[in-house]
Structure 1
Amino acid sequence: MLSPEAFRQTYSDAELAKELPDRPIASLRDIQHHYGTLYTLATTGGGKYAPYLTPDAASDLVDEPDSLIVVRVDLSGDEPTLASDDRGPVWVTKYTDELIPKVAHCKYPAARGIDHSITHQAGKNSDPEKLARYAKERLSKWATDSAVQPAAEEHEDGWIIDSLAELGEDEATLEQLEHDVLATLSGSTTALLTVQVKIDDDPYLWPGDLDVSMAAMRSRKLSKLVSKGKASNSAGEATDLITGAQTRTVGTAQDPLNYFLGKQLEKFPGFDPDQAWRTHPISEDAAITLMNAETFIDACSYRTFGARVYYLPYFFGKPDAEDTYRLYELLYDTVTEDDSERGLTPIETAYQFREEKSLDENKLRFYVSAVMPHQMSRFDVFGETMNGRIQFPASLATAHRDLLRTTAFRDGNERTAALPTHENWSLLSDDGFLGLVASGSYFYQTLPSGDDDTDASADDPRILALVAVLSGDSIPVSTLLESYVDRIIEESGDDEYGFPVFRVASQYAQLCALADANPGFLDATDTRKPIIEPPSYGQRTMSDMVKTITDGGFAGTEKLESFIEDTPALATNDERCASFLLGALVGAVGGYQEYEHDRSTTLVDQFPVQAVTRNRIKKVTESAIEKTITYTRQEKKGGREYPGTKFDYIVDRLRETVINPDPDDWDIDTADLRFYYALGLTYGMNDRPLTSNSEPDQPNPTAN
C-alpha cells in the first residue's frame, strides 16, 4: 500500500479528481465506494481490472522462500504441452513485490473452492500432495469453471483458456505435473500457485500480462454477486444507487459492514433475493469497489460489548483532491499504526490526527454505527448516523475531567469533598478519558451488564449509550437513572466491600459530564429537566468556602448547602433533595456506627437502596432520625458537650422536607428517588473532618 507521501506523488490533483465522486458524500455506500477507490489506487493502481485484484490477501508471503509455485505451459506449438525448457513445467520461486501485478491474484474468501483468479492461495503450511492438487486444478478446475468459460468464449484470446482446459483433461499431463511438484518441493509450505504461458516466440507470460485471464477472473468474481445465498440470478438493468448511471446492477454484493444480507429475511419482509437488484441496485464495478473498502473499514472499527463499532471518517461535502489526500493519510495511519500505538481505537487515532494536522472539525465527519452479530449472516444495527463528529466523545471526556477538578470532588481545607475520588478508579482519577469513552469502558463501569458480563443484548443500555455519544444523539435520563440503580443494587449486596460508594461517585460524575458536554447528551421531560442542567461546582472556589467558614459557619453545613445549591437537580426539587438528604443522614450515621462503634452492620445495610420507596421513605427517615437522637444522647451521657442533635444540619432539613409533608403524595419516580438516595449515602459516608484522628478507612478501592 502506498504511503501518503507516495500516494500524493503518484496521483496529481487532476488525476485524483477523475476518481472522485461528482457529488457530496451522502450515504454509507458513498463512503464505502470512496474508501474502495482509495484502496484500489493505493494497492493496484488504476485500470479496468484493478478493483478486482486483492494484492494484500497474500502480502505475508512476499519475500518468503518457496512462496510461489508456477505451472508453466507452452502454447506456441500445434498442441498445448507443459514447458520443456531448462526451467521445466514447475518453477518454485519467491513471491516478490515486483511479481504482485504480474501474478494478479484475486482471492475468493471461502472455506472451500478456488480463487477467482487463475492464481490460487494455498492454506498455511500445505503439504506437497495438497499443493500438487492445487497445481493441477489451475488447468482442470479453474479453466473449466462455469464463469470462466463464457468469458473465454467472448474474448478473442479465449483459445488460451481452452488450451489450458484441454491440458487439464489429459491424465498423463496431470500425472506429470503432480510428479514435478512433489519432486521440486522439499516439504510443506505456504504459497501462491499460478500459471505462465508461452504463446509465441516471446518469453512466458504471467496472468497479469494476459487480458483474457483478467477478463475471466473478473467474470468469475462478478458471478458471485448475483448467485450468493438464496439468490440464483440477482441482476438486471437499473440505476446504480452510487453513480446514478443506468447500467447492469447486482443485488447480493458482499458488504464489509454486513448490511442488506440475503439471509436477513426477517429484516426485509417480503424480500426476494433474486429481486435484490431492484431494491438495492449497485453496478458490478461499484459492488467490487465496495468490497475493496474492507481493509479501511475494518481498521476504522473495533469490538466492544460483543458488537463491532464503526467510526468511518469522511469530509463533509463534495470531495476534492486535498481533502482526499488527507483522508487517505488518516486511513493509512489507522491501518498502519505502530506497535507503541496499537490498541488505540479509531476515535483516538482520528483525534490525534486532527490535532497534529489541524483539521477543520466542522468538515471532518464520521459515519457511526454498531453491528451486533447473532448468528452466521444475521446482524442487528444500532444507532446509524452520518453526522458523527470527533468533538462529541472528546467533549464528554473533557467535561468529565473538568468535573473532577471542581469542589464536588476536591477536598476543602477542613472537610472532605462531597464525593470521593480514587486513583484506582479510572472514572475518578482525573486522567485521560477519551479512550474510556471510545472503548465503551466508560459505560461498562457504570451500567449493568445484564445476562452477559461482556456481550450486549439488543436493548443493552451500554451499547445504546456509547453509540449515542459517538453520534451526538441524546440519552433519556430516565433510562440512565434506571440503569444506574440496577447496577447499584447488583453490588449493594456484596458483603466484602459493602455499599459501592466509588461506583455511585463514578455514575454521578458521568451524569454531570453528559449534561455539561457540548452538545449535552441527556434528554428529559417534566420534573427531570433539572437533572440535565450542568451543576455549577466550578463557580465556587475553595477560597469562597474558607471565607464562609471563617466568618462563623460550620464546615459541614456550608458544604452541604453549597452542594445542594450548586446542583440544579437538588436545588429545584424538594422531593429529590429530600431523598438525597435522607441518604446523606443514613450514610453519615452508618459511617459513625462503623468507625466509632465498630459495627459490621450499619444503618446503610439496614436501609439499602432497593428498600427505599415513596411509601417507605417517611418510615426510613423517622428511623434514621431516631437513631441519630439515640447516639446524641449516648454521647452527652458520655460527657461530650453537644449544642443540639448530632448531624442536625441534615436532620433539620429532613424534618421540613419529609416528616411534615406526606411523601405518599410525591410525584418523584422510583429510579429518580433511589439514585439520589444512593448519591446521598455516598455523600454521607464520605463526609468527615480532615484531621489526623477522624479520617476512617475507606471501602476497598480496587473493585473497579
Structure 2
Amino acid sequence: MLSPEEFREKYPEDELAEELPDSPIGSLRDIQYLYGKLYTLATTGGGEYAPYLTPDAASDLEDTGDSLIVVRVDLSEDEPRLAADEHGPIWVTGYSEDQVQDVAHCKYPAARGIDHSVTHQSGQNSDPEKLARYAKERLTKWATDDVVQEAAENHDEGSIIDGLVELGEDEAVLDEIEDALKTALGGESTTALLTVQVQLDEDEGYRWPGELDVFMEAMRQRKLSKLVTKNKADDSSGNATDLVTGEPARTVGTSEDPQNYFLGKQLEKFPGLDIEEAWRTHPIAEDAAVTVMNADTFVEACTYRTFGAKVYYLPYVWGRISATDTRELYKLLYAAETEDDDMTPVERAYGMMDLDFRNAKLRFYVSAVMPHQMSRYDVFGETLNGRLLYPAELARVHNHLVRDTAAFNSTTEWTAPLPTHDNWGLLTGNDKQLHSVSTGWYFHQTFAERDDDDADADDPRIEALVAVLSGDAISVETLLSEYVDRIVAEQTDEEIEGFPSFRVASQFAQLCALATDELDLLSTTGPQKKPITREPTYEKHTMETETEMFATDGGYPPATKLESFIEDTPALAHDEDDSSLNDQRRGAFLLGALVGDIGSYQEYDQERSTTLVDQFPVKSITGSRIKKVTQETIGKTLTYTRQEKKQGPGYPGTKAEHIVERLRETILNPDPDDWKLDTDDLRFYYALGVTYGMNDYKPSSDDADETEEDS
C-alpha cells in the first residue's frame, strides 16, 4: 500500500480529482465507496479492473521463497503446447509486491471452489500433490467454468482461453505439469499463488494474466456472477439508477459489503425481502459494488470492539471532497491500517488532524453492531453526524471538573466536597481520558457490570458510548438506574470493603461532565429530572472568593462548603421552577451526608466495625423509609453530641450541626410520605450525600496517605 507521501506523488491533484465522487457523502454506501476507491488507488492503481483485484489476500506470501508457481503455455503456433524454453512448463519463483498487477489475483472467499481469477491461492503449506492439482485446474477447471467460457465467447481474445481448455484435455500435458512441478519443488510443501503465463508471439515473450484483457474480463464476470446469486437467488440484478453514482446502470441487490448490511438475512434492512427483486430496494451498480467491497481494509482499521459489540467510527469529509481533503483523509486511514498503537479512530484523528480540519470538515459515521450468529446482527446507534468534538470535549470537560473546580478540589484547610484518587481514572483528570471515553471504558467504570461475552443489543453502556460518539443525548433515567445498580452491587459484595465512595464520586463527575452546556449530552422524559441535566457552576469558586466567604461566615468552612455545593449543583439547589422536587432530592443528599459524617465518626473515633453507613445501605433507602432513617440518624447524632460535651467543656452546638439543621427543614418538617421523587433518584443522591459526608473533615498534619479503595 502506498504511503501518504507516495500517494501524493503518484496522484497529482487533477488526476486524483477525476477519481473522486461528484456528490457529497450522504450515506454509509458513499463512505464505503470512497474508502474502496482510495484502497484501490493505493494498492492496485487505477483502471477498469483494478477494483476487482484482492492484493491483501496474498500479502503474507510476498518475499517468502517459493510463493509463485507459474504454468507456462505457448500459443504462438497452430497447436497449443507447454513452454519449452529455459524456464520450462513450470516456473517456481518468489511472489513480490511488484507483481500484484501482473498476477491479477482475485480471491473467492469460500472454503471450496476456485478463485475468480486464473490466479489461485493455495491452502497453507500445501504438499506437491495438492499444488499440482491446483496448477492443472488452471486449465481444467477455471478455463472451463461456465462464466469464463461465456466471457471467452464474447471477447476478441477468447481463443486464448480455448487454448488452455484444449491443453487441459490432454492427459500427457497434465502429467508433464505435475512432474515438472514436483521436480521444481524438490518434494517440499509450500504456500503459493498458482497462475498462468501465455506466449502469443515468439517476439513478445510470455505475458502475465494482468496483461491479457480476456483473463481480466473473465475474472470480472466471475466475481460479478457471485454478486447476484447470494442466498440462493437466481439473478438478483436489473437496470436501475446506481445509489452511489446516480447513473443508470446494471445494478445488483445482494452484494457484500464490509459491514454485512443489506444481505438476505438482514431482515430489519430488507423488510419483506424478495431476494430476486432486492436490486429494486437497494440498487448498486456492479463496479460500484466491487469498489464498496474493497473498503473492507480501511473499514476494519477504523473499527474496534467493546462490550461484546463492534463499533464503527468511520471518518469522512463533510461536503464535496477535494483532492487536498482526500490526501488528509488517506493519511488518517493509512495510519489506522498500518500503525499498531492500540488507538481508537477518535484518538488518532485528534492527534493527527489540525484543529480547523477536525472541527470544520471531519465527520464520522458511527454505529455499533452486535453479532448473534453467522450473518445475523443487530445494528443500532447509526448516524452520519459523528464529530470529534463530542468525545474530545467530554474528556476535556471531565478533566477540568476533577482538576480545577471546587467540587473536587479544596481551597481551604477543609476537604473538598468530593474525593479524588490517583488510582481512579475518572477522579484523576489524566491525559488518557479521551481513550477512556472513546473505548467505552468511561461508562464501564460507572454502569452496572455485565458479562461482555453475553452482551446484548440493549446494553446501555453501548447506547451511551454511541450517543457520546455521535453527539446524541443520554437519558438521565438510564444513568441513575445504572449508577444505583452498580452502587448497590458493590455494597452487597462481601469481597468489597467499605462504602464505594470513589465509585459514586466518579459517577457524579461523569454526570456533571455530560451536562455541560457545550455538549448538552443529557436528556430527560419529564420535568422531574430537568435540573440534573443543567450544568453545575462549581468553577465560580476560586481560592479568593471562598476565602472571602469563609471570613464573612465566621470562618467555619463546613457550613459554607455545604451551602456552596448545594447551590452550585442544579439538582440540589433551591429551584424556583419546581422547588418541591429539588427539596426532596436535597433532603436525600443531606440525609446521606449526615449518615456519612456520623458513620466516619463511628469508624474512626468510636472504632465501631458496623456504622450508620452499613446500617442504612443505599438499597434500603425508599420514600417510605427515609423519615424513619432520618429520625434515627439525628437521634444518634444527638447522642454523640451529648457524649462529647460530657468529656469536657467547649464543645459548641450540635455535632454536624451544619447538616442537621438543613436536614430538619427538608425532611422532618415536610412529610416525605408525599414525595414524588423516584427510587433511583432518591438513592443516587443519598449515595452522593454519604460520599460527601465521609469526605467532610479537616485533615490532620500526620494523616497517612489515602489508601486505594478495594474494588
TM-score (norm 2): 0.95
2:138 equivalent to 1:130: no
Contact 1:230/1:263, CA 8 A, preserved across alignment:
no
2:488 equivalent to 1:480: no
| CA apart distance, 1:260 | 1.0
What are structure 1's unaligned runs of at least 5 residues?
none
Matches within 5 A, 1:269-418: 269-337=271-339, 339=340, 342-355=341-354, 358-359=356-357, 361-404=359-402, 405-418=404-417
Contact 1:395/1:517, CA 8 A, preserved across alignment:
no
* Partner Cα distance (2:649, 2:326) in 1: 76
| CA apart distance, 1:460 | 0.9
**Paired amino acid for 1:556:** P
| Alignment match, 2:578 | none
| CA apart distance, 1:668 | 1.0
* Partner Cα distance (1:602, 1:168) in 2: 89
| Alignment match, 2:579 | none
Contact 2:261/2:269, CA 8 A, preserved across alignment:
no
2:639 equivalent among 630, 642, 664: 630
What are structure 2's unaligned runs of at least 5 residues?
576-581
1:568 equivalent among 567, 570, 574: 570
* Partner Cα distance (1:210, 1:540) in 2: 76
Compared CA separation, residues 411 and 209, structure 1 to 2 (3 A)? same
| CA apart distance, 1:443 | 0.7
Matches within 5 A, 1:548-587: 548-551=549-552, 552-571=554-573, 572=575, 573-587=582-596
* Partner Cα distance (1:358, 1:674) in 2: 44
**Paired amino acid for 1:529:** K
Contact 2:517/2:534, CA 8 A, preserved across alignment:
no
Describe the SS at the equivalent of 2:56: coil
Describe the SS at the equivalent of 1:446: coil
* Partner Cα distance (2:365, 2:681) in 1: 34
**Paired amino acid for 2:610:** T
Q: Deviations over 1:14-46 (max 9, x none)?
A: 222221222221111111111111111111111
| Alignment match, 2:541 | 540
**Paired amino acid for 2:536:** P
**Paired amino acid for 2:421:** H
Matches within 5 A, 1:447-526: 447-450=447-450, 452-453=451-452, 456-495=455-494, 496-516=496-516, 518-524=518-524, 525-526=526-527
* Partner Cα distance (1:294, 1:449) in 2: 33
| Alignment match, 2:680 | 671
| CA apart distance, 1:702 | 5.7
Moved over 6 A (4+): none
Q: Percent identity?
A: 64
**Paired amino acid for 1:5:** E
Matches within 5 A, 1:86-101: 86-101=86-101
* Partner Cα distance (1:324, 1:13) in 2: 10
| CA apart distance, 1:299 | 1.1
User: How many pairs were matched up?
Assistant: 697
**Paired amino acid for 1:629:** L
Contact 1:408/1:418, CA 8 A, preserved across alignment:
yes
**Once structures 1 and 2 are overlaid, which stretch shifts more, 291-300 or 280-289?**
291-300
* Partner Cα distance (1:454, 1:129) in 2: 43
Describe the SS at the equivalent of 1:466: helix
Matches within 5 A, 1:597-676: 597-639=606-648, 641-676=650-685
Contact 2:368/2:379, CA 8 A, preserved across alignment:
yes
Compared CA separation, residues 533 and 78, structure 1 to 2 (3 A)? same
**Paired amino acid for 2:18:** K
Q: Deviations over 1:537-582 (max 9, x none)?
A: 1110123223333441311111111111111110031111111001
Describe the SS at the equivalent of 1:91: strand
Matches within 5 A, 1:82-231: 82-186=82-186, 187-201=188-202, 202-231=204-233
| CA apart distance, 1:597 | 2.0
2:62 equivalent to 1:62: yes
**Paired amino acid for 2:374:** M
* Partner Cα distance (2:38, 2:705) in 1: 59
**Paired amino acid for 2:542:** T
Compared CA separation, residues 123 and 702, structure 1 to 2 (3 A)? farther
TM-score (norm 1): 0.96
Contact 2:257/2:292, CA 8 A, preserved across alignment:
yes
Contact 1:392/1:518, CA 8 A, preserved across alignment:
no
Contact 2:126/2:190, CA 8 A, preserved across alignment:
yes
| Alignment match, 1:701 | 709
| CA apart distance, 1:313 | 1.3
* Partner Cα distance (1:268, 1:680) in 2: 51
| Alignment match, 2:265 | 263
* Partner Cα distance (1:640, 1:488) in 2: 41
| CA apart distance, 1:76 | 2.3
* Partner Cα distance (2:687, 2:439) in 1: 27
| CA apart distance, 1:480 | 0.9
Describe the SS at the equivalent of 1:350: helix
* Partner Cα distance (2:249, 2:31) in 1: 21
| CA apart distance, 1:101 | 1.1
* Partner Cα distance (1:121, 1:94) in 2: 14
Contact 1:305/1:455, CA 8 A, preserved across alignment:
no
